[in-house]
Amino acid sequence: MYEECPEARENGAMKGDYQELVDEISTLLGAPATLENRDFELIAFGAHDGGGDSGFDATVLDPVRTRSILTRRSTAEVRSWFESFGITRATAPVRIPPTPEAGVHRGRICLPVRHRGFALGYVWLLDGDPGPSDQQLTAAMEVAHRIGALLADEAQAGADLTREFRAVLTAERGWQRDMAVAAL
């Protein structure tokens, strides 16, 4: 299942891996990161550290970011707005400028999460000045590739379970049904 990305297998259980990988990207780029699936549903987000005596930088929480984290998804309008920057077709990082009227007070960097050419999600980072170097972004994209392998594996496992469940529901009584039940 991890044929294109064997290092993804080393990450253990999937849900915990997403958090670890998002934290790895946050550390690599020195910026808070979030991971969303292709439907803009939140999967994991990095800690928001830094700034001032309190250790917290309130500027990282613009309205779009706050809503995404608190509701665990973005609105259809926000999704359309971000997609207008070409992120669904992107194979490299995409920089999105701050647009306060859209609720985006700080620029974003979108790392497309792909597997075998298909967009499976997005890692979002706050863009700063000077922002990450090309070398840092390349390293972060390698982590995004590992996330893509995990998302693809999770999707395949779900498809396999659906197929097995359908076999149980549609099988006639007898050995075929018994085998379908055993497969679940």
What is the tens place of the pLDDT at every residue in 34-44?
999 999 999 99
Cα dihedral 88→94→98→100 (10° resolution): 0
Q: What pLDDT is stored for residue 7 in this prediction?
A: 43
Domains and CATH numbers, the chain: 10-183 (3.30.450.40)
3-state secondary structure of 45: strand
Would you give the distance in Å from CA 47 to the centre of its chain?
Answer: 15
What is the per-residue pLDDT across 55-88, written as a single tens digit (0 to 9) for each? Answer: 555 666 777 887 888 888 888 889 999 999 999 9
pLDDT at residue 120 greater than cutoff 50: yes
Give the pTM.
0.73
Please compute the mean of the pLDDT values over residues 176-182 and round it to a whole number. 66
pLDDT band at 1; cut points 50, 70, 90 = very low
Residue among 154, 125, 138 nearest 11 (CA): 154
